[in-house]
Structure 1
Amino acid sequence: MGRRRYELTDFEWWIIEPLLPNKPRGVPRVDDRKVLNGIYWRLRTGSPWAEIPERYGPATTCYNRFVRWRKLGVWDRIFDAITAAYDGDIQMIDSSSIRVHQHGANAKKGARTPPPETLLTPDAWGARGAG
């Protein structure tokens, strides 16, 4: 089967592959491209990590790489490289996948807004226990 609708294109993979950490020794790693597509699938759908389809490799592998690469700054390098490759003509937010938590949907009118330091940061992107 060919590339699925939202998976990395060959051009994007060509840009991203050299930016990924390399671990030449030990147990062979699950294919990075497959794992990246699994991570993107999870972030796009908002599903729990455990529901990542098997075609993307083990869910724990996807989660662990997401967290590890966040700590190493790999995601910042990937987004910067892809943005530069598309000459800034790329948007990375899809409002159809942004949801309000059930407790935040019924906020009282005129309620105070949270202080700026409590706003979401890239560290909070779907990783449990991030921080």
Structure 2
Amino acid sequence: MIRRHELSDAEWEFVRPLLPHAASGRKRLDDRMALIGIVWKFRTGSAWRDVRDRYGSWATLHTRYRRWAADGTFERMLRAAQAKADAARAADWMVSVDSTIVRAQLPGAQKSGLRKP
């Protein structure tokens, strides 16, 4: 049974080729488990230090996240997912941007000499 935040086998097979190849050397946390831990962190809104031990060390996950963000791994994943959705005609790319402006008055602004225009 797959837990809510984990990748299915099909999802993993889709993203696996997009991940950078690990350099040889000492044994490291499996990329799938690292990606699941990173997804869990962002889906739950938890701090890095609060990531569950079952996903590996929070420091390892944070380092892997920073490396993958810096080398464009997540951008490659996004572009590949968008291309797959386009090919299947499964996505509607209409975008709506809210341009509402909210003016704020700082507390104590009158006392400090700041005035409304």
Question: TM (normalized to structure 1)?
Answer: 0.64
3-state DSSP of counterpart to 2:29: coil
Choose 63-72 or 78-87, whichever is displaced more.
Answer: 78-87
Q: For each residue in 1:63-99, what CA deviation from the matched residue of structure 2 results, as whole angstroms up to 9, or x when unmatched?
A: 0011111110000001122233344647xxxxxxxxx
Any runs of at least 4 consecutive aligned residues in structure 1 with deviations exceeding 6 A, and if so which? none
Structural RMSD (CA): 2.2
Q: For each residue in 1:75-130, what CA deviation from the matched residue of structure 2 results, as whole angstroms up to 9, or x when unmatched?
A: 0001122233344647xxxxxxxxxxxxxxxxxx6239xxxxxxxxxxxxxxxxxx
- Long gaps (5+) in structure 1: 91-108, 113-131
Which residue pairs with 2:51 in the alignment?
52
Which residue pairs with 1:12 in the alignment?
11
Question: TM (normalized to structure 2)?
Answer: 0.70
Question: Which gives a bigger RCO, structure 1 or 2 (Cα 8 Å, sep 6+)?
Answer: 1
Q: Which amino acid letter does the alignment assign opposite residue 19 of structure 1?
A: L
How many pairs does the alignment contain? 94
State the shift of 1:20 in Å: 0.8
- Long gaps (5+) in structure 2: 92-101, 106-117
Which residue pairs with 1:41 in the alignment?
40
State the shift of 1:22 in Å: 1.1
Which residue pairs with 1:82 in the alignment?
81
Larger Rg: 2
Which residue pairs with 2:103 in the alignment?
110
